[in-house]
Amino acid sequence: MMKRLTPLLVLLTLTLGASNASAEGGLMNSTPAQRADLQNTFMKDKLHLDEATMTKIKAINIKYAEKMEPILKGDENQFSKMAKGKSVMAAKDEELKATFSQDQYTAYEDLRDDLKAYLEAKLK
């Protein structure tokens, strides 16, 4: 399931960037901090994370939002961006897995489609 969802999230991230490049407030116009904050809010609300876990998750989300920034806003073709984005997201997933409890990580995996829809709605 994880192998299926990671490319979907990367593809969503990249296609949102392409489709919203000229839209005010879209992915291309958002900052890494804005994208990380949206992920933080979603994860805290949906996964019911305590403050200690949220502190770690916030650091992970901003770290990987910053790593995605040059990929999202770069001049490379979509295929190259997708490949690089997939690599970044795989590393992020490993850090999340090490931070979450098994139940939290399972819930996170189950909620990825919801996260995708949430980000898409908020970044339009």
At residue 64, does pLDDT exceed 60? yes
At residue 71, does pLDDT exceed 70? yes
Average pLDDT over residues 45-61: 95
- Give pTM, 2 decimals: 0.74
**Locate tokens 């409890």: which residue?**
101
CA angle 60, 63, 64 (to 5 degrees): 90
At residue 16, does pLDDT exceed 90? no
